[in-house]
Amino acid sequence: MINGTGVDGIYVVHGITGYESREVMLENVLKKQYGLTYELVTESHDTSENKNLIKKYFNQEARDTLPKGALYCTLVHILIYEKILQNNDRFALVFENDVCFIGTDFLEKIKLVVEEAKQLEEGFIISIENTTLEFPSWRIVKKGKYLYEALTGRCAGAYLIDKKGAEIMLEDAITVKCCNVIDWWHNDMINRKIIRMYWAHPPLTEQGSFNGKLNSSISVRNNGLIRRFRWLAQKYYKMYILRIFK
């Protein structure tokens, strides 16, 4: 949780083995730098339990076509929704384990985001990352306003979700079944108008597996100076130039 901000829980999508360096990074950034209390969430150690959970929450097509990494990553997001309801969190932050903060004022910014979120109708996700390098048009951005309704998410590396939003998605996973990897499933629910998406602007985080700082755990992207340079160039163009023409 983050005292004084209204965030009741912080959950990190994690893996059971092979992510020791990520755990050190998260400890240094989340706990030591920002003083945050968070929970690492993984799939079950019991293979049979994982199979039962996947059958419970995913449709046949998703079970047959999604790579194991994407399937288990999505499953952990769903398990986090269970925890949000169990812990009665009004607002919770969900991070994937490659989260990188933009700037040093995350605590101040997330407090402002939560204050604005309190005025929204229940049942939403707020993307606080810039992973797709999509931003609200400069024409609608207003000084002192941080949340802008959107028709799609910006991946699922960092988002604020309210209790009603977690309830909606868990119910959808049980009844309709999850049909795709987590961010595409979010988009499917947005298109069906059962949950609303907002973008925080300016964004507060980006994914280290996209910006070149970390390797991705579910893709073949490698970190490196070339990818880092390309990311920074694209970010500058899309955030400061392309938005003028939208």
Does some domain include residue 70? yes
Does some domain include residue 240? no
CA distances to 128, 174, 208, 209, 222 from 216, rounded to whole Å, are 19, 29, 8, 5, 7
The residue-averaged pLDDT of 42-55 equals 97
- Which has the higher per-residue pLDDT, 111 or 17? 111
Does some domain include residue 230? no
Alpha-carbon 133 to chain mean position:
14
For 178-219, the pLDDT digits (tens) are: 999 999 999 999 999 999 999 999 999 999 877 666 654 444
- Domain of 21, in residue numbers: 9-207
Q: What is the pTM of this model?
A: 0.90
Closest CA to 240 of 199, 213, 201, 210: 201
> Are 123 and 40 spatial neighbours (Cβ–Cβ below 8 Å)?
no
Q: Which CATH number belongs to the domain containing residue 145 in this structure?
A: 3.90.550.10
Number of domains the chain is built from: 1
Average pLDDT taken over every residue of the chain = 91
Does some domain include residue 180? yes
Does some domain include residue 87? yes
Largest CA-CA distance found in the chain, in angstroms, rounded: 52
Does some domain include residue 226? no
> Are 92 and 10 spatial neighbours (Cβ–Cβ below 8 Å)?
yes
Does some domain include residue 80? yes
For 100-128, the pLDDT digits (tens) are: 999 999 999 999 999 999 999 999 999 99
